[in-house]
Amino acid sequence: MKSKKQDLEFLFHPGSIALVGITSNHTSPLADIFLGPLLDFEFKGELYPVNPKGGEIRGLKVYPDIKEIPGQVDHVIASIPARLGPHLMHDCTAIGVKAVHFFTAGFSESDEEGGATLEAEITQIARTGGVRLIGPNCMGIYCPESRLSFRSEFPKDSGAVAYLCQSGGNSIHMVQMGAARGLRFSKVVSYGNAADINESDLLDYFIHDPDTKIIAIYIEGVKDGQRLVDTLAKAARVKPVVLLKGGVTEAGTRAVAGHTGSLAGTDTTWDAICRQLRLIRVHSLEEMVDLLVTLSFMPPPEGRNVAIVGAGGGASVLATDDCESNHLVVPQFTQEVRDQLWEFMPKAGNSVKNPVDSQAIIWAPHQFVNTVRTVSNWEKINLLIGLLVSTDIFPSWSEQSDMYKAIARTMLESSKASSKPMAIVVQPGIRPEMTRNAFHIQQEFVSAGFPVYHSVAQAANAISKFIEYCHH
Amino acid sequence: MKSKKQDLEFLFHPGSIALVGITSNHTSPLADIFLGPLLDFEFKGELYPVNPKGGEIRGLKVYPDIKEIPGQVDHVIASIPARLGPHLMHDCTAIGVKAVHFFTAGFSESDEEGGATLEAEITQIARTGGVRLIGPNCMGIYCPESRLSFRSEFPKDSGAVAYLCQSGGNSIHMVQMGAARGLRFSKVVSYGNAADINESDLLDYFIHDPDTKIIAIYIEGVKDGQRLVDTLAKAARVKPVVLLKGGVTEAGTRAVAGHTGSLAGTDTTWDAICRQLRLIRVHSLEEMVDLLVTLSFMPPPEGRNVAIVGAGGGASVLATDDCESNHLVVPQFTQEVRDQLWEFMPKAGNSVKNPVDSQAIIWAPHQFVNTVRTVSNWEKINLLIGLLVSTDIFPSWSEQSDMYKAIARTMLESSKASSKPMAIVVQPGIRPEMTRNAFHIQQEFVSAGFPVYHSVAQAANAISKFIEYCHH
């Protein structure tokens, strides 16, 4: 069953949503799981909670049955036991629902007897009745433009990244991590067992979606491998695609079967596919965020020569190793560049060969800007990495929050003026108070528009893959 | 100049310390840099601040000259400009100081003219006058037993890890990270340029030090390579040695020269040395902490078969890949084990093939304990990894802080009873409030005595290297 872009547009813009199986029992952790976020996002359409017990939840009337809802129901979020799925599906086809999202697990992924049969049954009813299914066993749709979200803390503003994620937990975790690093999303779909709408349908939609500039995919198993490969090829020709394949080891493949009930594929196969189709392959959600941040906020560097500017001799040594291990080059500055740096930097305790290891930028952060300007001017440098080591920087910088706000902006202007992209590494800190400082400093650089990373190794890896992608 | 253990014992137990070059100018970031920690640690000997201007600092009389100090001075911490070094050294030999620690940079590591000559000069005076030198260009000594510390926030209690670290920043960062994960230290020495006392002298001391059970080394450059290799061989025969070599790439080597003014050595050479001598080689400070935590808190597993217990299907899939990529094995549970788990776990939403992906442990954390007990009993399992995903666990668990305290303890008892070591992975969280929750949960598991890691990939890597070390 092949889908075209226009087929799925309706998924992201429902006029009304029925939440079936919602409970008003506030001791249940699932009580508000979907209703809460929709209310917090001020979803503009109608919301109809449904539970046989009736009553009221968060000021909304609870309908005892979906068929008693007075208005048109476009979209259903079902949190009912799997065995009640077929009955609900019949009701949905009867009242002309367009899409049903089953949050419920207990279908083909489950050890529960009859799970696979139930999944086949609801799929069959959906197809016969002209209703589309999302899931089962997933979190569904996040589309900030439509005020549609499955988590209250997700950003309310839209962005350029579409994320297609078979796992609910991994969709939440990635959006949370990405949001803190400045990523914003056009659409996120957690699609679970993919009984009806699958990864290829959604990918095909994202290829044509004008709001989506970058596509991220977390995929576990695939039912129609050839179609997915064809669709990935099409996608990679028009937009950058970052792919994380879960379940690439023998036991990982089995874990996939227990999670979304689908088949996997070997690590080598996926490596070959990614190389051939020019997909950017990553191996963890953290690395996915690193790549998306790079694709979103870093102009393509013209080469691999990096200048490292930071504080801490030992940190500089390890930063250099991390860059060169990831195929970036840390060329030694000429005497001319070094002399320019010595004009405003004391010689004791500082080293300016590249890396620039400067205590000065701890005690007088505007020297960070001066240093960045000076080294950007050297023609051999293609990009810069600014390294903020939590141990040293944060206690002094955090007392001067206005100062680092100004610094972040000045540095970004300077980076733009020199056309040398700059990455910022903010070590996340260890104890809560340090972590909080680090987070706030990170946010200043994120707000200014920098790609921000948590270690030089992660930055260098992502930048190196980005350069490879750009010059492929 | 070869040192034996008894030669250096005095370094760690000074009866009095003079802080030369201290400033009472509180706008200077260096004002209290060493005095503050010594006061906070309630150093039991005499403290003598020295500055030509005299006066008073934090209730202590400031002596204008070291020679005017009325009592015996055992140890000197010098924060004066390098060019004043030789003069100070003459004074120190005159009054019978035993050791001088130069915090000051601007010696052989520096671009400053005459730095190398000055370093040779102070070393010569030290040797002629029978004074030992620490550094220059370093943070010196942390020895909690003697209430000697260069940072106020370091733990005040002693432990089994000795850390020999050429870089000041890397010594601070590693101790901070390690402390939060339960590591405690016998002695830490940041030894900088190693003009007199060098890595081999200190390593030799740690070999014989009864308080030291594990040795960690961050090393950048070496002056006498053959002696170091001989000493490392000797050390590795009696205690686990974890080695991080900074400056292993071409540019990294240059960064070393700019930091501690010493020579490096290629990556391949160090790999061969580590393999041959049975040193545990790591490539980052984070990995060093992972290994030290494993060596400190994990009994040797009898094999590589791991059971993963956690929540989140996607997280379980990636956890399995991370384990198997690091040569751990995630064997599928027998039907018998699975049936035992189903006795207390609902089938929908849970998977128990290994990994155990259980929502139950989020909503009812005591089920975590039950699950751990059940899978520990299966003979094929050698160790367990408990996975706490910040997204899911923390909001619910953090409302029940007494409960997870009890859980951590019960789980440790259970792990001891079954003789199956257990690692705990606590994802550090993203936004400050989540990070704070994660940190507190982490601390409960650390306090109970677990090895705690921040990702399954890091845990699996460290455990795999540990098993290799144990069976080598």
Mark yes or no for CB contact A255/B317 under 8 Å: yes
Q: Looking at residue A6, what is its pLDDT? A: 46
Question: In this complex, do B256 and A317 lie within 8 Å of one another by their Cβ atoms?
Answer: yes
pLDDT of residue B26: 55
B176/A430 touch (CB, cutoff 8 Å), yes or no:
yes
CB contact under 8 A, A316 and B251: no
pLDDT the model gives residue B109: 85
Closest CA–CA distance from residue A64 to any residue of chain B (Å):
24
Task: Report the alpha-carbon distance of residue A163 to residue A246 in Å, rounded.
Answer: 15
Q: Look at residue A1 in the predicted model and tell me its pLDDT.
A: 44
pLDDT at B398 over 70: no
**Topology, domain A5-136:** Rossmann fold (3.40.50)
Q: Contact A314/B247, CB-based, under 8 Å? A: no
Q: Where are the domains of chain B?
A: 5-137, 158-297, 306-470
Q: Average pLDDT in the B453-467 region? A: 97
DSSP alpha helices (H): ranges in A266-400? 267-277, 285-297, 313-325, 335-342, 360-363, 366-376, 390-397
The number of C-alpha atoms within 13 Å of B27 and in the hemisphere containing its C-beta is 1
The beta-carbon neighbor of A218 closest among B169, B314, B391 is: B314
pLDDT at res. A2: 46
Cα separation, A241 vs A204, whole angstroms: 12
Residues of A in contact with B432 (CB under 8 A): 432, 435-436, 439
- Tell me which chain A residue has its CA closest to the CA of residue B442: A431
In CATH, B5-137 is 3.40.50.2300: no
Q: Which residues of chain B neighbour A177 with C-beta distances below 8 Å?
A: 430
When mean pLDDT is compared across A164-173, A438-447, B260-269, B373-382, the lowest value belongs to B260-269
Mean pLDDT within B340-352 = 85
Question: Higher model confidence: residue B264 or residue A341?
Answer: A341
Q: Could you say which residues of chain A have pLDDT below 50?
A: 1-6, 394
Taking the C-alpha atoms of residue B423 and residue B222, their distance in angstroms, rounded to an integer, is: 36
Task: Give the list of residues 6+ apart from residue B471 with CB closer than 8 angstroms, or none.
Answer: none
Query: Is A313 within 8 Å of B177 when comparing Cβ atoms?
Result: no
Domain B158-297 identical in fold to domain B306-470: yes
Question: What was the pLDDT predicted at B259?
Answer: 64
Residue A166 or residue B264, greater confidence? A166
At residue B1, the pLDDT reads: 44
Rounded mean pLDDT, B348-352:
80
> Does A315 contact B254 at a Cβ distance shorter than 8 Å?
no
Closest alpha carbon to A136 in A192, A177, A181: A192
Residues, chain B, total? 472
Across A166-175, B302-311, B347-356, least confident range = B347-356
CA-based nearest distance B98→chain A, Å: 26
Name the nearest CA neighbour of B459 among B385, B381, B394: B385
> Is A236 in contact with A472 (CB distance < 8 Å)?
no
Whether residue B240 contacts residue B274, with contact meaning beta carbons closer than 8 Å, is answered with no
% of chain B beyond a pLDDT of 90:
66
Do B258 and A321 lie within an 8 Å CB cutoff?
no
What pLDDT is recorded for position A257?
67
Q: Distance (Å) from the C-alpha of residue B71 to the closest C-alpha of chain A?
A: 32
Of B105, B260, B430, the CB nearest to A177: B430
Indicate the DSSP class of residue A146. Answer: G
Q: What value of ipTM does the predicted structure carry? A: 0.92
Q: What is the pLDDT of residue B381?
A: 96
Please give the structure tokens belonging to residue A267.
């690590």
CATH class of A306-470: alpha beta
Closest B-chain CA to A27: B363
The minimal CB distance from B260 to the residues A167, A285, A313 is found for A313
pLDDT in tens, B318-337: 999 999 999 999 999 999 99
Q: Is the pLDDT of residue B261 over 50?
A: yes
**B127-175 residue pLDDT tens:** 999 999 999 999 999 999 999 999 999 999 999 999 999 999 999 999 9
Residues of A in contact with B332 (CB under 8 A): 251, 254
Which pLDDT does position A410 carry in this prediction?
76
Q: Do the Cβ atoms of A324 and B111 come within 8 Å?
A: no
State which residue of chain B sits closest to A349, comparing Cα positions: B105
Q: Quick check: B392 and A324 CB within 8 A? A: no
pLDDT greater at residue A291 or residue B429: A291
* Nearest neighbour of A430 by CB, restricted to B111, B177, B363: B177
Distance CA B25, CA B27 (A): 6
Q: Chain B contacts of A109, Cβ < 8 Å?
A: 313, 351
Confidence of residue B6 (pLDDT cuts 50, 70, 90): very low
H/E stretch holding B18 reads strand B16-20
pLDDT confidence tier of residue B395, bands split at 50, 70 and 90 = low
Higher per-residue pLDDT: B415 or B79: B79
Nearest Cβ partner of A249 from B169, B324, B432?
A: B324
Candidates A218, A256, A348; nearest CB to B105 = A348
Give B92 or B358, the one with higher predicted confidence: B92
| CB within 8 Å: A391 and B316 | no
Q: Tell which CATH architecture fits domain A158-297.
A: 3-Layer(aba) Sandwich (3.40)
**B316, pLDDT greater than 50:** yes
Tokens in use for B270?
Answer: 């160090």
pTM for this one?
Answer: 0.94
Q: Which residues of A touch B180 (CB under 8 A)?
A: 430-431
